[in-house]
Structure 1
Amino acid sequence: MSKRVLVIEDDQELGAQVVQRLREAGYEPTWWKEGRRLPPGALPEVELVVLDLMLPGAYGMDMLKDLRAHSEVPVLVLSARNETADKVRALKLGADDYMTKPFWPEELVERVRARLRRPTLGRADVVEIGPLRIDRAGHEVQVRGERVDLTRVEFDLLAALAERPGAAATRRWLAERVLDPERDGTERTLDVHMSRLRKKLGPGTFIETVWGIGYRLVAEQEA
Structure 2
Amino acid sequence: MKLSNLVLLSIASMAFFYIQLWDESLVTPLYLSLLLLCSLYGVYLKDINMVHISGFIFILNGTTYAIFKVGLINYVTPSDNKLLQGTLIYGFQLLSGIITVLVLIFRVQISRLLSNSKNIELTLFDGLFHWLYMYTSIIYLLGLIENVAWSYFNMKSWTIIYDNFEGLIYISWALCCGALITMMICSTKDAQFRESKTS
TM over 0.5, shorter chain = no
TM-score normalised over the length of structure 1: 0.26
User: Which has the bigger relative contact order, CA under 8 A and spacing at least 6?
Assistant: 2
Whichever structure has more strand as a proportion of its residues is 1
